[in-house]
Structures are given as structure tokens and as C-alpha cells.
């Protein structure tokens, strides 16, 4: 099961806000992938949306550790001032930690959510 939301805020800002909020709830957050860091050493961007070196695309994968042994994954994919957030269910994270992370995500980024037709949070 995936939870998805679309928020109108820069991806890096959304990730920073979310990391701070999760850490304030005594969860550990590890960024396992960051597109901007990965592209830093490349001379050209293969961005399908912009096709220029100065694209606004960002993709980050956060691993959120709480009381459970397996992390909850949060994926952020953003461009042009919008970010799509999801919590892909790999079956490894129990429901309680996922619900806790989702609660922090909604409390932190809920004010930036897109209007109902564009945003779906499925459970």
C-alpha cells in the first residue's frame, strides 16, 4: 500500500522540514539518495522535463528509523515548486511506524497540500 501526497513547496524545503519534524519526534532519518548530489559531478543533466543543466528536478529517498527494526521509506520527487511524496510499501515496515511517519508528514506538510482532486492519500 502506498501513501501519496502532492504539496506546493520546493522539494529540498519539504525534505528539510520533514527531516527536522521526524527528528523532533525522536526518529532517525538517513537520506539514502539525493539526485542533486548524484548529479553534482556530471556536466549535463538528462532531465526529461527541462533538458537543461539548470533543471529544478529533485529526487530523494529517506529511510526513517523509529522503534521498529526496519525503516519506513519516504520518497520525494519534485520540480518547479511542487513535490510528490510517497511511502512505498515494501512490506518491511510495520503499520504502526508507517502511521507515525505519515502523521508527522501530514502535520508538517499538510498546509502545503494540493487541492483534493490532485492529492490522494490512500490507506
What does pTM read for this prediction? 0.78
CATH architecture of the domain covering 4-118:
2-Layer Sandwich (3.30)
The predicted structure's pLDDT at residue 113? 84
Taking a C-beta distance cutoff of 8 angstroms, is the pair 102, 27 a contact?
Answer: no
On the question of pLDDT at 46 being above 70, the answer is: no
Residue 69 has pLDDT above 90, yes or no: no
Q: Provide the pLDDT for residue 122.
A: 42
Mean predicted confidence (pLDDT) in 23-49: 76
pLDDT tens sequence across 74-120: 999 988 888 999 988 755 667 788 889 999 999 999 888 865 544 44
Amino acid at each position: 500500500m502506498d501513501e501519496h501526497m502532492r504539496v506546493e513547496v520546493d522539494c529540498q524545503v519539504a525534505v528539510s522540514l520533514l527531516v527536522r519534524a521526524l527528528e523532533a519526534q525522536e526518529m532517525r532519518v538517513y537520506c539514502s539518495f539525493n539526485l542533486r548530489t548524484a548529479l553534482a559531478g556530471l556536466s549535463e543533466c538528462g532531465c526529461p522535463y527541462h533538458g537543461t543543466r539548470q533543471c529544478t528536478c529533485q529526487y530523494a529517498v529517506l529511510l526513517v528509523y523509529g522503534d521498529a527494526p526496519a525503516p519506513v521509506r519516504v520518497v520525494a520527487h519534485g520540480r518547479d515548486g511542487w513535490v510528490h511524496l510517497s511511502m512505498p510499501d515494501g512490506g518491511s515496515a510495520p503499520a504502526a511506524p508507517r502511521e507515525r511517519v505519515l502523521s508527522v508528514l501530514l502535520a508538517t506538510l499538510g498546509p502545503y497540500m494540493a487541492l483534493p482532486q490532485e492529492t490522494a492519500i490512500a490507506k
